[in-house]
Chains A and B, each alone.
Chain A
Amino acid sequence: MNDFINTYGFLIISLVLQAILALSMYLPLMAGQLSLATPGFYAIGGYVAAILSVRTFLPASGTTFPEPLQSFVLWLGTVFPATPQGQAFPVSLLLVEMLIAGVLCGLLAIIVGLPALRLRGIYLALATIAFVEIVRVVSLNLPITGGSIGIFGIPQPYPTKFEFAWIAVPFLVIVALFVYRLERVRVGRALVSLREDELAAAAMGINPTYHKVLAFTLGAVIAGACGALSAHFINTWNARQGTFDASILILAYVIIGGSRTWLGPIVGAFLLTALPEVLRGAADVQGIPTFLAQFLKDGRLIIFGLLIAFSTLFFPQGLITPNLFKRRGGSEGER
């Protein structure tokens, strides 16, 4: 058991964090908005935590800021004291970082979302990818984000990766419960009606802009806080954490898992994150022929890709559909 946790502890927490990101992308999708901005907010959240905990904001010897910025920076330095060697980073501060990251991303989401959410479908997707790219390039250029090397040596709140479960699991549970409930109440119904038919929804008195920005912002808050947690979790943070590839991968979680109910994104994230590692593990299973073991190792991404492609055939609405929960009329006769 201990062995298992040692080997797979990191993976298990990764699953949880990826599931949170999947839900963050699911929220705007609930309102029919194909936003791929999640990795952008995730990256920003991570930088917030990295900068605060590694104290990169503190001016290197001698540099001073003009007042009142200087006092603010000094004050920030007292709030986030240096973590002494060999001592754990206080969990309370980690939670504060998550909060700050969430709020910051939320505000940014409103600013980005108000203009961007006038776009639809693929156009919106691309505008949000543009956002992700801009965040990436800017963080490559700023000194405070450490350029392409990024920020490393982020202090650890726990001695082992698996213990991040103390924060990650409740975080996922809260987010999942939130989305689960949201789907069943007034605001959630308004979001879904926008996905179904925006014009008709507007004619029923639902303010499209407000609700779209709301869903987008909620997603951003979650992604930002998740980024803050992840920065500690993977020790280092750099511009490669929030990229187009991540956008697409998270979208795959949501779609493969099922994009019409809260459980889908979670299941999708679990499966797709675990799969390459399961294949890695399968190669080490005793007794399988060496050629197969070799292929499982070298070709594991081939299998991964094919599984993604072909699973869509068997679950054309995603793995988890609302019909799993309630019985509704199907349409098998339609060609």
Chain B
Amino acid sequence: MLAQQLANGLAIGSVYAIFALGYTLIFSILGIINFAHGAIFTLGAYFTYTLMGLQFGFNGLLAQQKLPFGLPFWVALLVGAVIAGLFGVFLERIIFRPLRARGADPLLTLVASLGLAVAIVNIIQYLVGAETYSYPSGAALPGAPASVNFGTTEAPVIIRTAQLIIIAVAVLILIVLTFFINRTKTGRALRAVSEDATTSSLLGINTNQLIRLTFFLSGFVGGVAGTLVGLNVGITGPYLGISFGLKGLAVIVLGGLGSIPGAVVGGLLIGIVEALVPASLVSYRDALAFAILFIVLLVRPQGLLGRPLIQKV
């Protein structure tokens, strides 16, 4: 039972983690909370759906429309994620860059991203309605069982296949991103930009280009995540990603702002805490998760893996 609950926690947490990865990327470079990330995440799921040549429902402008061709799931996922990444770049170009150029308060940027999120969600609804969609069952791994039992038949520890995929992809993204940011020259430049864009430009770093890259990566990761979560729980409507906004924020703050492993650790931890809430308290689950977050922050104000807030006077 405990093993199963831990496995559940891992499964829930991996969804939080994969959502948070792209979220935290932008925060760590630009110091802004990008609420539009949830919307891009949603878009990723819809892009993949569209690219697979599947048909839309009865509401919205695109009712009953579909592409004349259909890509296999994994190809559609990659192409969809690239489009999501480009969409991120587009948002950067029209909103975030001008805001940076005007020296806007980070909170204002946050609010702008909120506006974008509202607009995107409602554009999705305008185009394809609020209906639920899903990828054909078995799209990802044809023939694979719906779940895998890691325990015995008497003491089962079951994880659903869709969630195993999410865990695997989350870990893969984590490894690639960590390597990229910590070990490559571009990664070092990214960290420099996140510290101080003006000074970075004095070192010959084209800050705009790097920020564009960040938005692309974040959008790409978000698009992958959206599709995989869509695979797991269906595309439950235009609010698919937005509904992760609060948990996602909790995850990146708990893990430590700007820390990429922190997003994964934070996600898994919140997932496990939620899973371990005793049955009798299940109706207080969200409150407990946030209470724990509150307490962790009081003990470790910078989050679990966050760098301490140094202040040299």
Residues of chain A at the chain B interface (Cβ within 8 Å): 34, 115-116, 118-120, 122-123, 126-127, 129-131, 133-134, 136-138, 140-141, 199, 244, 248, 251-252, 255-256, 259, 298-299, 301-302, 304-313, 316-318, 334-335
List the B residue with the shortest CB-CB distance to A128.
Answer: B294
A-B contact pairs, 30 of them (CB 8 A): A118-B298, A119-B297, A122-B257, A123-B253, A126-B293, A129-B250, A129-B290, A133-B287, A136-B287, A199-B311, A199-B313, A244-B246, A251-B110, A252-B114, A255-B105, A255-B107, A255-B108, A255-B110, A256-B108, A301-B122, A304-B115, A305-B117, A308-B115, A309-B95, A309-B112, A309-B113, A310-B115, A313-B98, A317-B108, A318-B105
- Kindly state the separation between the CA atoms of A119 and B302 in the bound complex, as whole angstroms: 9
Residues of A within 8 A of B287 (CB): 133-134, 136-138
Residues of B within 8 A of A130 (CB): 250, 290-291, 293-294
Residues of B within 8 A of A256 (CB): 108, 111
- Asked if B120 contacts A305 (CB within 8 A), the reply is yes
Min Cβ gap B297→A in Å is 5
Known: A130-B291, A137-B284, A307-B115. Is A313-B95 also a contact (CB below 8 A)? yes
- Kindly state the separation between the CA atoms of A259 and B121 in the bound complex, as whole angstroms: 27
- Asked if B109 contacts A134 (CB within 8 A), the reply is no
Residues of A within 8 A of B103 (CB): 316, 334
Residues of B within 8 A of A308 (CB): 111-112, 114-115, 118
List the A residue with the shortest CB-CB distance to B309.
Answer: A120
List the B residue with the shortest CB-CB distance to A268.
Answer: B111
Known: A312-B108, A316-B103, A318-B108. Is A134-B291 also a contact (CB below 8 A)? yes
The interface centre, meaning the residue of A123, A251, A259, A302 with most chain B CB atoms within 10 A of its CB, is A123
Q: Check if B286 is an interface residue, CB within 8 A of chain A.
A: yes
Q: Check if B264 is an interface residue, CB within 8 A of chain A.
A: no
Residues of B within 8 A of A298 (CB): 126
Q: Check if B116 is an interface residue, CB within 8 A of chain A.
A: yes
Chain B window 228-265, contacts with chain A (Cβ cutoff 8 Å), 1 for yes, 0 for no: 00000000000000000110011001000100000000
Q: Check if B283 is an interface residue, CB within 8 A of chain A.
A: yes
Residues of A within 8 A of B52 (CB): none
Chain B window 268-312, contacts with chain A (Cβ cutoff 8 Å), 1 for yes, 0 for no: 000000000000000111110011011001100111000001010
Min Cβ gap A132→B in Å is 9
- Asked if B111 contacts A131 (CB within 8 A), the reply is no
Q: Check if B102 is an interface residue, CB within 8 A of chain A.
A: yes
Question: Which residues of chain B in 121-148 are interfacial with respect to chain A, using CB atoms and an 8 Å cutoff?
Answer: 121-123, 126
Q: Check if B33 is an interface residue, CB within 8 A of chain A.
A: yes
Known: A310-B95, A312-B112, A316-B104. Is A119-B250 also a contact (CB below 8 A)? no
Q: Check if B119 is an interface residue, CB within 8 A of chain A.
A: yes
Known: A126-B250, A299-B126. Is A251-B107 also a contact (CB below 8 A)? yes
Closest 4 CB pairs of A and B: A308-B115, A305-B119, A305-B118, A309-B115
- Asked if B99 contacts A259 (CB within 8 A), the reply is no
List the B residue with the shortest CB-CB distance to A132.
Answer: B290
- Asked if B111 contacts A126 (CB within 8 A), the reply is no
- Kindly state the separation between the CA atoms of A24 and B59 in the bound complex, as whole angstroms: 41
- Asked if B99 contacts A131 (CB within 8 A), the reply is no
List the A residue with the shortest CB-CB distance to B303.
Answer: A123
Known: A130-B291, A134-B287. Is A317-B115 also a contact (CB below 8 A)? no
Residues of A within 8 A of B302 (CB): 123
Min Cβ gap B259→A in Å is 13
Known: A259-B107, A309-B95, A312-B115. Is A302-B284 also a contact (CB below 8 A)? no
- Kindly state the separation between the CA atoms of A223 and B175 in the bound complex, as whole angstroms: 45
- Kindly state the separation between the CA atoms of A130 and B101 in the bound complex, as whole angstroms: 33
- Asked if B284 contacts A138 (CB within 8 A), the reply is yes
Min Cβ gap B22→A in Å is 17
Known: A138-B287, A248-B35. 4 other contacts (CB 8 A): A130-B290, A137-B290, A255-B107, A312-B108
- Kindly state the separation between the CA atoms of A141 and B287 in the bound complex, as whole angstroms: 11
- Kindly state the separation between the CA atoms of A298 and B114 in the bound complex, as whole angstroms: 20
Min Cβ gap A264→B in Å is 11
Residues of A within 8 A of B297 (CB): 119, 123, 126-127
The interface centre, meaning the residue of B35, B103, B114, B301 with most chain A CB atoms within 10 A of its CB, is B114
Min Cβ gap A164→B in Å is 28
List the B residue with the shortest CB-CB distance to A331.
Answer: B103
- Kindly state the separation between the CA atoms of A281 and B122 in the bound complex, as whole angstroms: 19
List the A residue with the shortest CB-CB distance to B61.
Answer: A298
Min Cβ gap B238→A in Å is 11
Residues of B within 8 A of A120 (CB): 301, 309
List the A residue with the shortest CB-CB distance to B294.
Answer: A130
Q: Which of A123, A134, A259 contacts B301 (CB 8 A)?
A: A123
Known: A123-B297, A316-B108. Is A305-B284 also a contact (CB below 8 A)? no
List the B residue with the shortest CB-CB distance to A34.
Answer: B107
- Asked if B111 contacts A251 (CB within 8 A), the reply is yes
Residues of B within 8 A of A129 (CB): 246, 249-250, 290
- Asked if A312 contacts B104 (CB within 8 A), the reply is yes
Residues of A within 8 A of B283 (CB): 137, 140-141
The interface centre, meaning the residue of B95, B113, B290, B313 with most chain A CB atoms within 10 A of its CB, is B290
